[in-house]
Each structure stands twice: as C-alpha cells, then as structure tokens.
C-alpha cells in the first residue's frame, strides 16, 4: 500500500491534486485532499476505498518524493544501505561525474570483494532508479562504505566515504589524486 509523505519540505505547487471519476480535486494539504475525496464518496453513496493510496498512485510519477510504500513485511526497512538511499533521496545531487569516470568506477565495483547483492525493496529500488535517472548499474551494495554502488558512482565526489577504503576501490584511487 502506498502512503503520502505529507510533511515533505517540497510540497506540490500550487496545491495537492487528484482526479476521481473525471472530477478534479485539489486542496492545500494532503490531509484536506484525502478528506475531500472521502466526503465526496460518502455523500454520493460510493464505497470508501483507500483515498490515500489512490492519491499516492496518481502522484507516484509526477511527485515521487511525496509517495512511499507502507509495507511492514519487508525486512529491509531499517538497513543502513537504504537509510543512505533515503538520505540521498531527500537531498538529490544535481551534478554527476563524467560518463568515463562513472564507467571506470563501475568496473572497479564489479570486481570488488566488498560488493554484495542488494536485498529487495521495491519502493527504495524505485527511488534509487529515479535518483540515477534510470541509469542504475551495478545493482550491488558496498559492505565497506555501506552505500548503493549504482548511486555512489554517479556523483562528482561521494558523500563522506568511510576511511580506509580497500586498495582496489575507486574511492581510494580518487582520494590519492
């Protein structure tokens, strides 16, 4: 089930908007929009449905930062790797390294002994994919740096890497420059 991040600092401009039964709804806040849809359905004898989930589905493409999956069955909710993805998500970087640098970094990650498979979490995979502008490879995490390798190779300089990177790591090579 998708839920809305109602307190995100970047709110939709000018209003929260959704459309049901070809009727547009808008409100100043997500809570007001949910209440408006709920009231509309109640007054018209319609089934209540799940307005927050339905609004989130409509906003997922245009405002992905306002939508997140609310699934309690995923064991990956508190993994530090995904905490890192969420931190990057909330302050997305605007400048990436050159394609040649990214290619070299990916090659280093591909042969690194610290590269491990990433546990599945569809919502956070979607965020990582959007942050990487669809250019997400490799799909591994670094057990040394505790970051998503596909995202870490993209920025001009990675966020505060853990000290003592292994000799084969591209972070160690770039730090020596």
Are 15 and 28 contacting, i.e. CB atoms less than 8 angstroms apart? yes
User: Domain range holding 10?
Assistant: 2-69
Model pTM? Answer: 0.47
| Token output for 156 | 């001009």
Same domain, 98 and 122: yes
From 40, 69, 98, give the residue that closes a domain: 69
Same domain, 84 and 15: no
Please state whether 43 falls in left (phi above 0), alpha (psi between -120 and 50) or beta.
Answer: alpha
Please report which confidence band the pLDDT of residue 152 belongs to, taking 50, 70 and 90 as the band edges.
confident
Same domain, 43 and 126: no
From 41, 69, 97, give the residue that closes a domain: 69
Contacts of 104 (CB under 8 A, 6+ apart): 170
pLDDT one-digit tens code per residue, 91-147: 665 567 888 988 888 888 888 878 888 877 777 777 787 777 767 776 788 888 888
């Amino acid at each position: 089930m998708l839920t809305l991040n109602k307190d995100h600092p970047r709110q939709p401009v000018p209003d929260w908007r959704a459309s049901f039964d070809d009727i547009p709804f808008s409100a100043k806040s997500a809570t007001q929009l949910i209440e408006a849809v709920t009231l509309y359905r109640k007054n018209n004898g319609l089934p209540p449905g799940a307005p927050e989930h339905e609004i989130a589905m409509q906003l997922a493409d245009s405002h992905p930062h306002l939508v997140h999956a609310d699934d309690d069955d995923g064991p990956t909710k508190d993994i530090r790797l995904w905490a890192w993805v969420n931190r990057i998500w909330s302050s997305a970087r605007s400048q990436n390294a050159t394609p040649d640098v990214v290619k070299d970094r990916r090659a280093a990650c591909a042969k690194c002994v610290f590269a491990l498979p990433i546990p599945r979490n569809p919502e956070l995979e979607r965020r990582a994919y959007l942050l990487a502008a669809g250019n997400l490879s490799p799909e591994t995490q670094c057990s040394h740096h505790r970051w998503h390798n596909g995202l870490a190779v993209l920025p001009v300089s990675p966020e505060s890497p853990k000290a003592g990177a292994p000799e084969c790591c591209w972070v160690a090579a770039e730090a020596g420059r």
